[in-house]
Amino acid sequence: MLNNIIDRIKLPFRKEKELYLSLYQIIGIIPHDISYYKTALLHKSVARRNAKGKPVNNERLEFLGDAILDAIVGDIVYEHFPGKREGFLTNTRSKIVQRDTLNRLAKEMGICQLILSNGQTSSHNSYLGGNAFEALVGALYLDHGYNACMKFMKQQVLGKLINIDKVAYKEVNFKSKLIEWSQKNKVNMEFKLIENQKDKQGSPTFHFQVIMEGIPCGEGHGYSKKESQQEASKLTLQRLRREPQFIDEVFAAKANRTKMEEEPVLNVPETSQDMNFIEGSEPKVEKHENPFQTEVFDEKSSAADEVKEELTDSSVEEECMEMSDEAYTEEMLNKFFGKWEGNETAEELMGIIKQNSSSSEPISFEGV
């Protein structure tokens, strides 16, 4: 308290009185050691070095301020929302300390005008303001302590620029909400890069479009992929909420896709194997003879048959004995080989064969 009074008395006599006044309007406290704040406002692009030759910039203070800011905002959110779950508190804190929010705060509070850089402050995709805001918190912590940082956030930020209740219940991450909606409804969605160029100042620009089930949806432009995708997601969510026909179109496209992806139901093949191609595979029906089936012979008929057979055999034998040997032989030859019908004798036939054997003409028996 005494130091603050002394700092106010010394303020009119300071060499850098304008910087002191500007910082007082921003943080609500008169700086005691101005060197911390000068370093917090010094971007690395200036490339200054200290007496030892080491680079001097606000990156170290930015690291410290980021940790202090998380702790302070977490403390404030915890006290402001008693009974709320951890997920709600984490989400609310992240909305306040995210880079986009800090950039807007730095611009509204006039911090961006105090930053020393090589002219890159005009680059839209840089976070000079947000980084300087965190570095300023780190400088304030080193200069006046934790309580001064808590007073700065409660009175200068949350009390004047941010309504913590609106921030807590306002959805700012449109991309995550759109992805969550598409996953719950099993809708295919992608972010398609339409164009990637650079503006007149050389800063990259991105143009993204949301595609759902092949249907073009919202488009977004920005100086980062995240920024352009957030804008495209926001416009797509607005169409889903305000245009029922658009929702019907998306789900109709989904139905067509799922219908095409369904595989046709095939008939279940039979497990029985047709073995007709194997020979002998057909079951044979065995014919069983009746072992008890016997032939019944009449005593009279059987006796007559036996007598008949005996008479036939005996008659043949008697005929063979009555014939001479030559007659029997001739009769057997005629019976099995045929009978010669010509009048020539055997000697005459042999002479004819010898006579014609020396001739080249084929033997002819015509006219013999």
Contact yes or no for 123/45 (Cβ under 8 A): no
Contact yes or no for 35/58 (Cβ under 8 A): no
Q: DSSP string covering 43-78, please?
A: -GGG-EE-TTS-EE-SHHHHHHHHHHHHHHHHHHHH
How far apart CA 203 and CA 193 sit, in angstroms, is 17
How far apart CA 93 and CA 151 sit, in angstroms, is 17
134 catalytic, yes or no? yes
| Catalytic-labelled residue, pool 62, 134, 213, 231 | 134
Contact yes or no for 97/69 (Cβ under 8 A): yes
231 catalytic, yes or no? no
Which of 300, 275, 125 lies closest to 204, judged by CA? Answer: 125
- List C-alpha distances in Å: 230 to 109, 227, 236: 25, 5, 10
The tokens describing 347, both together, are 């000697």
CA-based torsion, 198, 200, 201, 207: positive or negative: negative
| Catalytic-labelled residue, pool 66, 213, 227, 231 | 66
Q: Report CA 325 to chain centroid distance, whole Å.
A: 109
Contact yes or no for 234/218 (Cβ under 8 A): yes
Q: Hey, which residues are catalytic here?
A: 66, 134
